[in-house]
Amino acid sequence: MKYFNLIFLLLAVVLTPLELKATDRNKKEKPQASKTNEQKNTVAKQDTNFRTLKTGDIFDKSVSIYVKAEKREDYEKAVELFHILVNRGIKHEDLFYNLGNAYYKINKAGYAVYNYEKALQIDPEHSDALYNLNLTKKLISSQNKDLVVSFDETPLWVKIINWFHFTTLYLAFAIFWFCFFALLISLYFKKKDVIKAGLVTLTVIVGLVAIVFGVMFLGRQNYESSNEFGIILPDEVSVKEAPQKASNEFFKVHAGLKVQLESSDKSWIRIKLPNGMEGWVETSKVGRL
Find the CATH number of the domain harbouring 255. Answer: 2.30.30.40
54 and 127 in a single domain? The answer is yes
Task: Kindly write down the DSSP assignment for every residue of 15-47, as one continuous string.
Answer: HTT-------TT--SPP-B-SS-------SPPP
Q: What pLDDT, on the 0 to 100 scale, is given for residue 144? A: 72
- Which tens digit of pLDDT belongs to each residue from 124-172? 888 899 899 999 998 888 877 655 555 555 666 666 766 777 778 888 8
User: How many Cα atoms sit within 13 Å of 56 on the Cβ side?
Assistant: 3
Running DSSP on this structure, what letter comes out for residue 285?
G
22 located within any domain: no
How many Cβ atoms are within 10 Å of 169's Cβ, its own excluded?
25
Domain boundary at 226, 246, 267, which?
Answer: 226
Burial zone of 68 (CB within 10 Å; 0-12 exposed, 13-18 middle, 19+ buried): exposed
70 located within any domain: yes
Instruction: Find, among 57, 54, 77, the residue nearest to 67 by Cα.
Output: 77
53 and 127 in a single domain? The answer is yes
188 and 252 in a single domain? The answer is no
132 and 187 in a single domain? The answer is no
The pLDDT-based confidence of 52 (bands split at 50, 70, 90) is: low
251 and 212 in a single domain? The answer is no
CA distances 2 to 7, 166, 197, Å, are: 9, 36, 21
Q: What pLDDT, on the 0 to 100 scale, is given for residue 146? A: 58
60 located within any domain: yes
Running DSSP on this structure, what letter comes out for residue 267?
T
Asked whether the predicted pLDDT for residue 15 surpasses 80, the reply is no
Domain ranges, residue 263: 228-288
214 and 253 in a single domain? The answer is no
Domain count, the chain: 3
206 and 163 in a single domain? The answer is yes
Cα 174 versus chain centre, distance: 23
Q: What pLDDT, on the 0 to 100 scale, is given for residue 114? A: 95
259 located within any domain: yes
